[in-house]
């Protein structure tokens, strides 16, 4: 991953652009290298003239260090982290430019406090909510922002665009402010962090957000995303930022767009009803794609004698579910596109907000795994209703509700798929609607209950 910082000479404020080296505490004539616990950071100067100087921070991730201690070994093979600006880059910023990030310069103290015309370039920045969010977070800080979206594959333009962007921002800022903005906003835009987010992250956010975050029009969104939607941490940070103003919830992007918590609660209630109405009564339930265990926790509370199991492909979210459920529910790591004998023998399988995260061509494998091999007595499926997206003004036209969605179906498309699956695997299917009903567009979530 790469970040470049450029300054041009501007009399009388800056007569020699090479003074950027004094502000960064890195000599333009040498290359700086630092070992980090996830790779190696390099600082060098592609150009260093009195008129214009550019410093580059290049971070090389070590795939061995990156996966050390992780159970999901595929992470080292299928991962965009080595290339995409993320929380890894924020850590490298703080490690390589700590003095500049603190606003100090021993040789040029007056220059450290002087706004300069600075340009920062990020060749690959991830943003799950698209270009509008990049502008909403950066432009209020006074930057001119240039954005170019990367295609999914240049060889196949018909595949469309990705959630990766080249971003160039130019503005009159102190170097301290620019680095602070990048430190906070890169992981907020990426909407992910590579390390555990705890109380110390609140202190980091407040320290690097001092002087600008409290007045930013998107301060609540930035805080939620930076702190990974942890309610207690978000509340504590916003209380200090806003001196006791009301704090928004901690829902992820998908749920923020969907009338915050209420819709997710209604999904869970629909799942509980699907379990409750099965005859004869369900004795075992598996949540396929259980995520962080919120639905499992609700099912356990409602049906304490039912045997529960959760399954997800990500070891990271399973670790969160393990803590949420206090180890009381068996959790399996696995993929729904491969046959798995551990999935057999359950009365009810929940498949909630899962299918839209698979590439369409892989749905047939999921169908065989869930409806063919596992063959539970009942399968309860929920997925977004694409027609309802038009209700949300915050959702750009043509964009999905979540950056990882591979498709979102209309009601007709969902019915067509579900009826075909029911016929292929010996089920009957009934359809439902979850959430507030729109007269023409239906509900935000659509559901199908398959009975064998």
Structural domains in the chain? 2-195 (3.30.1610.20), 257-451 (3.40.50.150)
Work out the average pLDDT over 1-15.
Answer: 92
pLDDT over threshold 80, residue 141: yes
Q: Are 412 and 405 in contact (CB under 8 A)?
A: no
pLDDT at 255 (0 to 100): 42
pLDDT over threshold 50, residue 225: yes
Helix axis angle, 87-96 to 175-190, nearest 10°: 160
pLDDT over threshold 70, residue 443: yes
Work out the average pLDDT over 147-156.
Answer: 89
Q: Are 103 and 174 in contact (CB under 8 A)?
A: yes
Q: How far is CA 252 from the centre of its chain?
A: 8
Percent of the chain at pLDDT > 90 equals: 62
Residue 397: pLDDT band by 50, 70, 90 thresholds?
A: low
Residue 249: pLDDT band by 50, 70, 90 thresholds?
A: very low
Report the SS3 class of residue 329: coil
pLDDT over threshold 60, residue 265: yes
Residue 81: pLDDT band by 50, 70, 90 thresholds?
A: low
Q: Are 26 and 43 in contact (CB under 8 A)?
A: yes
- Enumerate residues 6+ apart whose C-beta is below 8 A from 176: 100, 101, 102, 103, 112
pLDDT over threshold 70, residue 248: no
Cα 414 from Cα 80, distance rounded (Å): 31
pLDDT over threshold 70, residue 324: yes
pLDDT over threshold 80, residue 7: yes
Tokens 């265990």 sit on residue? 293
Q: C-alpha distances in angstroms, 24 versus 85, 97, 339?
A: 20, 6, 54
pLDDT over threshold 60, residue 253: no
Cα 86 from Cα 357, distance rounded (Å): 22
Report the SS3 class of residue 357: helix
pLDDT at 325 (0 to 100): 93
pLDDT at 79 (0 to 100): 59
- Enumerate residues 6+ apart whose C-beta is below 8 A from 397: none
143-149, Cβ contacts within 8 angstroms, sequence gap of 24 or more: 143/169, 143/170, 143/171, 144/169, 144/170, 144/171, 145/169, 146/170
pLDDT at 396 (0 to 100): 64
Work out the average pLDDT over 430-438.
Answer: 92
Work out the average pLDDT over 18-38.
Answer: 93
292-295, Cβ contacts within 8 angstroms, sequence gap of 24 or more: 292/317, 292/320, 292/321, 292/324, 293/320, 293/321, 293/322, 293/324, 293/325, 293/329, 293/331, 294/264, 294/268, 294/324, 295/267, 295/268, 295/271, 295/350, 295/352
Q: C-alpha distances in angstroms, 154 versus 151, 157, 168?
A: 6, 6, 21
pLDDT over threshold 80, residue 73: no
Residue 62: pLDDT band by 50, 70, 90 thresholds?
A: confident
pLDDT at 352 (0 to 100): 96
In the DSSP assignment, the letter for residue 18 is G
pLDDT tens profile 285-304:
999 999 889 999 999 999 99
pLDDT over threshold 60, residue 19: yes
Work out the average pLDDT over 437-441.
Answer: 90
In the DSSP assignment, the letter for residue 61 is E
In the DSSP assignment, the letter for residue 436 is P
Cα 387 from Cα 395, distance rounded (Å): 12
Q: Are 182 and 151 in contact (CB under 8 A)?
A: no
Residue 259: pLDDT band by 50, 70, 90 thresholds?
A: very low
pLDDT over threshold 50, residue 252: no
Residues in the chain: 452
pLDDT over threshold 90, residue 22: yes
Average pLDDT of the residues of the chain = 88
End-to-end CA distance of the chain: 50
β-strands 331-333, 348-352 pairing: unpaired
pLDDT over threshold 90, residue 314: no
pLDDT over threshold 90, residue 407: yes
* Between 101 and 198, residue with greater pLDDT: 101
pLDDT over threshold 80, residue 446: yes
pLDDT at 84 (0 to 100): 86
Q: C-alpha distances in angstroms, 210 versus 29, 82, 242, 349?
A: 33, 30, 12, 48
pLDDT tens profile 163-199:
899 999 999 999 999 999 999 999 999 887 777 788 8
């Amino acid at each position: 991953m790469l970040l470049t910082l450029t300054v041009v000479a501007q009399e009388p404020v800056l007569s020699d652009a090479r003074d950027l080296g004094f502000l960064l505490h890195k000599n333009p004539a040498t290359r700086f290298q630092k070992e980090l616990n996830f790779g190696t950071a390099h600082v060098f100067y592609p150009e260093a003239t009195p008129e214009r100087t550019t410093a580059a921070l290049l971070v090389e991730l070590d795939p061995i260090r990156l996966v050390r201690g992780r159970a999901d070994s595929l992470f080292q093979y299928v991962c965009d982290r080595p290339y995409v600006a993320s929380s890894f880059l924020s850590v490298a910023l703080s490690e390589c430019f700590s003095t500049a990030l603190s606003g100090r310069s021993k040789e040029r103290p007056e220059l450290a406090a002087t706004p300069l015309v600075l340009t920062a370039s990020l060749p690959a920045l991830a943003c799950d909510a698209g270009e509008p969010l990049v502008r909403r977070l950066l432009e209020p800080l006074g930057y001119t922002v240039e954005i170019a979206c990367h295609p999914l594959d240049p060889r196949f333009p018909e595949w469309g665009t990705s959630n990766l962007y080249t971003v160039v921002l130019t503005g009159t800022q102190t170097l301290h402010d620019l680095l602070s903005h990048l430190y906070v906003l890169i992981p907020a835009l990426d909407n992910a962090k590579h390390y555990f987010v705890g109380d110390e992250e609140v202190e980091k956010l407040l320290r690097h957000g001092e002087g600008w975050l409290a007045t930013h029009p998107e301060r609540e969104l930035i805080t939620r995303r930076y702190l990974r939607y942890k309610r207690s941490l978000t509340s504590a940070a916003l209380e200090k930022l806003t001196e006791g103003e009301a704090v928004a919830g901690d829902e992820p992007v998908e749920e923020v767009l969907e009338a915050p918590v209420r819709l997710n609660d209604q999904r869970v209630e629909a799942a509980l009803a699907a379990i409750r109405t099965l005859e004869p009564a369900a004795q075992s339930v598996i949540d396929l794609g259980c995520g962080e265990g919120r639905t499992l926790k609700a099912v356990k509370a409602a049906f304490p004698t039912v045997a529960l199991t959760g399954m997800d492909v990500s070891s990271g979210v399973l670790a969160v579910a393990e803590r949420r459920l206090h180890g009381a529910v068996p959790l399996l790591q696995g993929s729904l596109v491969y046959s798995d004998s551990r999935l057999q023998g359950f009365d009810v399988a929940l498949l909630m907000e899962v299918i839209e995260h698979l590439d369409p061509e892989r749905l047939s494998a999921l169908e065989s795994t869930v409806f063919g091999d596992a063959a539970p007595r009942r399968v309860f499926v929920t997925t977004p209703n694409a027609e309802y997206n038009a209700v949300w003004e915050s959702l750009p036209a043509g964009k999905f509700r979540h950056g990882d969605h591979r498709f979102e179906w209309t009601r007709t498309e969902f019915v067509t798929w579900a009826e075909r699956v029911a016929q292929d695997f010996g089920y009957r299917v009934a359809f439902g609607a979850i959430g507030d009903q729109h007269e023409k567009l239906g509900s935000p979530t659509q559901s199908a209950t398959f009975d064998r």
